[in-house]
Amino acid sequence: MANLTSDFIGIKSPNPFWLASAPPTDKKYNVERAFQAGWGGVVWKTLGSEGPPIVNVNGPRYGAVWGADRRLLGLNNIELITDRPLEINLREIKEVKRKWRDRALVISLMVPCDEESWKDILTRIEDTEADGVELNFGCPHGMAERGMGSAVGQVPEYIEMVTRWVKKYSRMPCIVKLTPNVTSILPPAIAAHRGGADAVSLINTIKSITNVDLDNFSPFPMIDGQGSHGGYCGPAVKPIALNMVGEIARHSETRGLPISGIGGVTTWRDAAEFLAMGAGNVQVCTAAMTYGFKIVQEMISGLSQYLDDKGMALSDLVGRAVPNFVEWQDLNLNYVTKARIDQDACIKCGRCFAACEDTSHQAIFMHPGRVFEVNDAECVACNLCVDVCPVEDCITMVELPKGTVDPRTGKVVGDYANWTTHPNNPSARAAE
Amino acid sequence: MTHRQLAPGIVPGRLPAETIACNFADVLAPLDPHEARVAADRCYFCHDAPCITACPTSIDIPLFIRQIATGTPDAAARTIWDQNILGGMCARVCPTETLCEEACVREAAEGKPVEIGRLQRFATDGAMAKGHPYTRAPVTGRKVAVVGAGPAGLACAHRLAMLGHDVVVYDQRPKPGGLNEYGIAAYKATDGFAQAEVDWLLAIGGIDLRLGQALGRDFSLADLRATHDAVFLGIGLPGVNALGIPGEGLAGVHDAVDFIAELRQADLSTLPIGRDVVVIGGGMTAVDAAVQSKLLGAENVTLVYRRGRDRMSASGYEQDHAAQAGVKLVFNAVPLQVLGQGRAEAVEFAYAVDGVPGPETFLLKADQVFKAIGQRLVGVPADVARDGAKLAPQPLPGVWAGGDCTGGGEDLTVTAVAQGRDAAHAIHTALMGA
């Protein structure tokens, strides 16, 4: 078994799987169950300032998007930060940390955007013995309207300012949690970096309406016939999160800034992908809310086996895919592939044909007997047939060897060449 | 085992009434909404789907399954009924394992097809309860006679009524439905479904049903041609093939179709059955007779077929169903004679090679023998056009035919529906012009 011990900005945990700040980490009872199940760490659900506790709605808090067989693909929530008194949370955090010394315990914070509020909360959590703080600049619902959460995360200057206060008033490692509800994730990440953040974590949830109740004509979750936007999470958001993590990991101004990857991590494979994309660890919420805490055991065994099979250490995996995350203009235009249909594996559903014929390049023949065959002279290698085929590996993309002629273009497959030097590019530079 | 079960001869009540009731309950329970959604999610929505091609009525199966999956099962039922107005019965009795479900790509992929038949039943059962969905086109003033209120006749009558024609349906039996009511194993169409479906179908209006009226007895084909604008014959195969062996006339030797028809109308707890039953034949009728004999409490039921298992017209699924019910299947044996003093006591068989008897023989104890070696066309005028031993699709000018009485396709409910429906369109074109 590979060693999964994780050291993320000095915070140690037996594995890189943390539970994100969210409903599953709201209190001692849940967090202890998570640790018993094997989670490496938790980010305690966001604490607010001292004062009257937060109020939540008393109708549905969650909406969902389902795939086949009601498999939950996306979850949307309108729950706010913790609605329990601050003192109780602080006491329980301390109790849990003392009992579970080997686990990471980070406290998520969200208070009004003034120096005193931050100074005060940081003082209050000082003696919990927690391992670090995570600044919640991400939640897009409820708190944002009060000038907190994503309202801060959408203004890089505020991120930098608050991060500086936190570093000024606390010795704890500081993770800045970013909202994806921005045009580009880079300015907020750069701001966090400038403010002295030890790491960023992303993504928080995405502003969303999961569905509309067609009898009551209200967004869902519906409260007394009305709905507001919530924060979207779960497997559906993973592609958005991976891109944002990768953008930060490769950018010159943020390269090397530790990243805690969040967004739809459901299996060990998702986690491995985040790590390869530059995350130092991952945080999970929706998968645990869907299946319970036990899923971490599959994540642990799966990631261990993968690392063993590859002969890699955990640290070898982190950022491994970042150098290959390039811009479109860097892609090799002389890399030519053609779809190949494995006739033995084909079950003759014809979805590749329908997709190609109706919506792509008319590059699949339908022969008598429902035999489907790719027409290389038309195939642009778009991969749609691969994507819609219900049989894994039945359709694959085969590379044309260098020197052969692409029957579609009539051109010989040549050496690497990209758009920057392409003759059709008005601003192409001559190859040097 | 009770004393009653071991009683010799042909007696009622071999099993307690509640056991018989349980034995004849719905053979395949209906899907509940959750099960239907899970089953529907498995459909790949194939291009030019093989299941549609495999369906004699060409139901757009991927479309109706998608309609179920998206929460509109009534729309799914419309998709089914547009092609097959008896989609409810076909969902129950179609040998889907040799039709749509055999063609399903998930059968190729996993050996486990989408449960098309059960999904069809889910859609049609739900929508049937909400009444009849079709309306008639403006009345054309044309009148068409339909002979036979079986699947072919009903499908033809309904489509003709929909197209605006007035239809008179004649049937010699006291109830409509044909083999849906008098054939088919009872556990496939429980709770009076056949009659309920006919009532629902007739609700379109414009169909005058005349029961107890037999062709050749109460009216002639010439009468109908003289008094109607067109005639459709969906008369099935009323003649039963004989074994042609000594002892066939002994008491206790019956036609399987008569037994099945009687069973469908009977109080099963009082229906007599033999202790040792022998069924001769290899089709669905033979299987239905054998299985139901077993379910009524016969101790030993043997189905004997003259050729090998692979030649049986009953599907592998049906063969397994029979075996599971406790029916013993014997292949490659032909009957030589029925033995007995005044009533059947045993049947003598010879082992055979490809239906040809050899020298070796054996005896099977039998107080009841069911013959199920096929039916044939009888009772039609000599001057009609034929397709082999059956009727041609248009046997006479102004006369169309469909269902088991015609050649082409297998003798299945779903085939009869397709032929009846298509004949209705042919009649419509002939009456109204293209």
Rounded CA-CA distance B423/B179 in Å is 19
Of residues A69, A347, A350, nearest to B48 (C-beta): A350
Contact assessment for residue B145 and residue B235, using Cβ atoms and an 8 Å cutoff:
no
Q: Which of B140, B36, B5, B129 is nearest to B424 (CA)?
A: B140
Rounded CA-CA distance B67/A252 in Å is 51
Q: Both B390 and B367 in a single domain?
A: no
Q: Which two tokens stand for residue A146?
A: 């009060």
The predicted pLDDT at position B247 comes to 97
Closest Cα of chain A to B406: distance in Å?
29
The predicted pLDDT at position A335 comes to 97
Instruction: Give the domains, in start order, of chain A with CATH numbers.
Output: 6-324 (3.20.20.70), 328-431 (3.30.70.20)
Q: Both B395 and B367 in a single domain?
A: no
Contact assessment for residue A113 and residue A152, using Cβ atoms and an 8 Å cutoff:
yes
How many CB atoms are closer than 10 A to CB B111? 7
Q: Stretch A122-140: mean pLDDT, rounded?
A: 94
pTM: 0.90
Interface membership of A146 toward B (CB under 8 Å): no
Closest Cα of chain B to A70: distance in Å?
8
In this structure, what DSSP letter does residue A144 have? G
Contact assessment for residue A190 and residue A271, using Cβ atoms and an 8 Å cutoff:
no
Q: Both B281 and B351 in a single domain?
A: yes
Q: Is residue B10 part of a domain?
A: no
The predicted pLDDT at position A141 comes to 82
Q: How confident is the model at residue A69 (pLDDT cuts 50, 70, 90)?
A: confident
Interface ipTM: 0.85
Is there a contact between A354 and B47 if contact means CB atoms under 8 Å apart? Answer: yes
The predicted pLDDT at position A146 comes to 85
How many domains does one find in chain B? 3
Q: What is the mean pLDDT of chain A?
A: 96
Q: Is residue B19 part of a domain?
A: no
Which residue has 């109020």 as its token pair? Answer: A55
Contact assessment for residue A265 and residue A303, using Cβ atoms and an 8 Å cutoff:
no
In this structure, what DSSP letter does residue A211 have? E
Rounded CA-CA distance A322/A247 in Å is 9
Q: Both B118 and B234 in a single domain?
A: no
Instruction: Tell me: pLDDT of A147 over 90.
Output: no
Interface membership of A71 toward B (CB under 8 Å): no
- Which residues on neighbouring strands pair with residue B361, listed in sequence order? B350
pLDDT < 70 regions, chain B: 1-3, 434
Q: Both B233 and B381 in a single domain?
A: yes
Q: Is residue B18 part of a domain?
A: no
- Which residues on neighbouring strands pair with residue B338, listed in sequence order? B347
User: A290: which residues sit within 8 A by CB, 6+ positions away?
Assistant: A72, A75, A234, A266
Of residues A69, A70, A351, nearest to B47 (C-beta): A351
Q: Which of B54, B43, B153 is nearest to B95 (CA)?
A: B54
Contact assessment for residue A242 and residue A273, using Cβ atoms and an 8 Å cutoff:
yes
Q: Is residue B284 part of a domain?
A: yes
Give the count of Cβ contacts less than 8 A between chain A and B: 35
Q: Is residue B7 part of a domain?
A: no
Rounded CA-CA distance A301/B251 in Å is 73
Q: Both B338 and B248 in a single domain?
A: yes
Q: Both B225 and B249 in a single domain?
A: no
The predicted pLDDT at position A429 comes to 67
Q: How confident is the model at residue A150 (pLDDT cuts 50, 70, 90)?
A: confident
Of residues B37, B41, B44, nearest to A390 (C-beta): B44
Helix, coil or strand: residue A425: coil
Rounded CA-CA distance B427/B394 in Å is 10
Is there a contact between B47 and A350 if contact means CB atoms under 8 Å apart? Answer: yes
β A104-109/A72-77 pair status: unpaired
Chosen from A349, A356, A362, A392 to mutate, greatest number of chain B CBs within 10 A: A349
Chosen domain end from B104, B128, B152: B128
Q: Both B195 and B154 in a single domain?
A: yes
Q: Is residue B208 part of a domain?
A: yes
Chosen domain end from B128, B156, B181: B128
Chosen domain end from B98, B128, B158: B128
Give the chain B residue whose CA is nearest to the CA of A354: B47
Contact assessment for residue A172 and residue A163, using Cβ atoms and an 8 Å cutoff:
no
Q: Which of A153, A130, A133, A132 is nearest to A141 (CA)?
A: A153
Q: Both B246 and B353 in a single domain?
A: yes
Element (H, E) at A251: none
Rounded CA-CA distance B45/B75 in Å is 16
Closest Cα of chain A to B47: distance in Å?
5
- Structure confidence by residue, pLDDT tens digits, A162-206: 999 999 999 999 999 999 999 999 999 999 999 999 999 999 999
Contact assessment for residue A367 and residue A373, using Cβ atoms and an 8 Å cutoff:
yes
Q: Both B263 and B232 in a single domain?
A: no
Chosen from B44, B45, B47 to mutate, greatest number of chain A CBs within 10 A: B47
Element (H, E) at A241: helix A238-250
Contact assessment for residue B5 and residue B297, using Cβ atoms and an 8 Å cutoff:
yes
β A371-374/A395-399 pair status: unpaired
Is there a contact between B105 and A349 if contact means CB atoms under 8 Å apart? Answer: yes
Q: Is residue B103 part of a domain?
A: yes
Q: Stretch A341-358: mean pLDDT, rounded?
A: 97
Q: Both B259 and B219 in a single domain?
A: no
Rounded CA-CA distance B197/B113 in Å is 27
Q: Both B164 and B107 in a single domain?
A: no
Query: Which domain does B250 fall in, by range?
Result: 241-374
Q: Is residue B9 part of a domain?
A: no
Q: How confident is the model at residue A137 (pLDDT cuts 50, 70, 90)?
A: very high
Concatenated DSSP letters of B313-344: SS-HHHHHHHHHHTPEEE-SEEEEEEE-SSB-
Contact assessment for residue B219 and residue B124, using Cβ atoms and an 8 Å cutoff:
no
The predicted pLDDT at position B158 comes to 98
